[in-house]
Amino acid sequence: MVITITGAAGMLGSRLAERLLAEGHEVRGVDLRPGPGVALTGDIRDRELMDRALDGADVLVHAAAALPSYPDEQIRSIIVGGTRNVFAAAAAAGTPRVVHISSTAVYGLPTIVPTPEEYPREPVDTYSRAKAAAEEIAERYRAEGMCVPILRPKTFVGPGRMGLFSMLFEWAEEGRNFPVLGKGNVKIQMFAVDDLVDAVVTVIHADDDVANDTYNLAAAEFGTLREDFQAVLDAAGHGKRVVGLPARPALALLSVLQRLKLSPVYGRLLHKLMDDSYVSIDKAKARLGFTPRHSNADAVLRTYDWWRTARHTAPAAGATGRTSRDPWKQGLLSTAKIFF
């Protein structure tokens, strides 16, 4: 098949391109940045570019997005405006199947765990509102007859992931304890990027009546945040521990630092770390026949192993924080190291 991928230079897009090329498909990657799987360099909001990318395509995988750390207007423009343009181009080209990579962020801060797909979209910030609006666009095209699998992964991790994880890895490598809010006994579900690639490939090949649905995707095996973070500290070999901080005062301080742009830890993440956060993957198991291969701990530790080598490669000038491959600027949090 001819398969177009937006965000083809990203963590997910690049691994998906490698997998599809190995299976013998023709891959047309679209991204702002060049990369091995990128055939067209440009912006997904450029209609002419997307028309060229989708000419004769059998499948589009829409994986391009903004990060929560982007300015609000860029988040809305890239996620909502970009999705609107991508789907319009796919409809004009007659692309029969568009796999839309969404996020469990659309649930906001759900009060039910495990959260099923039927839980209402209740976004709480700019990023989650944009992802919810992008899903609404995808659903409109589904209602008009296009086959549109909507995949909602939890935070996916694996080789290539930096972001907030780079902070945990850096502190672990330096032989420091690592703080968590409260006791750290909340259950936080994640997802291995290799499992996400498997899921995307599954819906690419699935029959229309199975693919044309919305699916949560996440690890089947997961524990507490304390357990996952402690696994990294143990792997570092310095005998350090996860240290609990008084939850409410720490939350208030981090919220102030975030508003002053002195910390990269955004509001929804802070509140998500205070309560259990996991979704039901029963539907993906039953309808897609999909079962994840990796646990939370497996995914995090594989990412740490990759980071130990990748950290010696400096990011491109000005790239920090722009993609999931870039480490977050720790801001004032970097000075807190001395206490741990």
- 321 has a pLDDT exceeding 50: no
Mean pLDDT, residues 1-6: 98
The answer to whether the beta carbons of residues 137 and 275 sit under 8 Å apart is no
Lowest-confidence segment of 1-5, 175-179, 265-269, 279-283 by average pLDDT: 265-269
Whole-prediction pTM = 0.89
Q: Distance between CA atoms of 49 and 51, rounded to whole angstroms?
A: 5
- 114 has a pLDDT exceeding 90: yes
Name the residue with tokens 């499992």: 195
Domain membership flag for residue 121:
yes
Give the range of the structural domain holding residue 69, as residue numbers without chain letter.
Answer: 2-156+190-217
Identify the CATH number of the domain in which residue 34 sits: 3.40.50.720
pLDDT in tens, 270-320: 666 678 999 999 999 999 999 999 999 999 999 999 999 887 665 544 444
Nearest to 3 by CA among 24, 37, 26, 31: 26
Domain membership flag for residue 130:
yes
Domain membership flag for residue 48:
yes
Domain membership flag for residue 63:
yes
Mean pLDDT, residues 69-77: 94
Strands (E), the chain: 2-6, 26-31, 38-41, 59-62, 97-101, 150-153, 156-157, 178-181, 191-192, 214-217, 242-245
Q: What integer pLDDT is reported at residue 157 of this predicted model?
A: 93
Q: What integer pLDDT is reported at residue 245 of this predicted model?
A: 83
- 94 has a pLDDT exceeding 60: yes
- 338 has a pLDDT exceeding 80: no
Residue 104's pLDDT band (cuts 50, 70, 90)? very high
Q: Distance between CA atoms of 219 and 193, rounded to whole angstroms?
A: 10
Domain membership flag for residue 110:
yes
pLDDT in tens, 126-156: 999 999 999 999 999 999 999 999 999 999 9
pLDDT: is 265 or 289 the higher one? 289
Give me the number of domains the chain comprises.
1
Domain membership flag for residue 331:
no
Mean pLDDT, residues 46-61: 98
Domain membership flag for residue 26:
yes
pLDDT: is 248 or 308 the higher one? 308
Q: What integer pLDDT is reported at residue 326 of this predicted model?
A: 54
Mean pLDDT, residues 65-86: 95
Residue 165's pLDDT band (cuts 50, 70, 90)? confident
The percent of residues above 70 in pLDDT, for the chain, comes to 84
Q: What integer pLDDT is reported at residue 262 of this predicted model?
A: 53
Greatest Cα-to-Cα distance within the chain, rounded to the nearest angstrom: 59
The two structure tokens encoding residue 195: 């499992």
Q: Distance between CA atoms of 202 and 186, rounded to whole angstroms?
A: 31
- 243 has a pLDDT exceeding 50: yes
Mean pLDDT of the residues in the chain: 89
The percent of residues above 90 in pLDDT, for the chain, comes to 74
Domain membership flag for residue 94:
yes
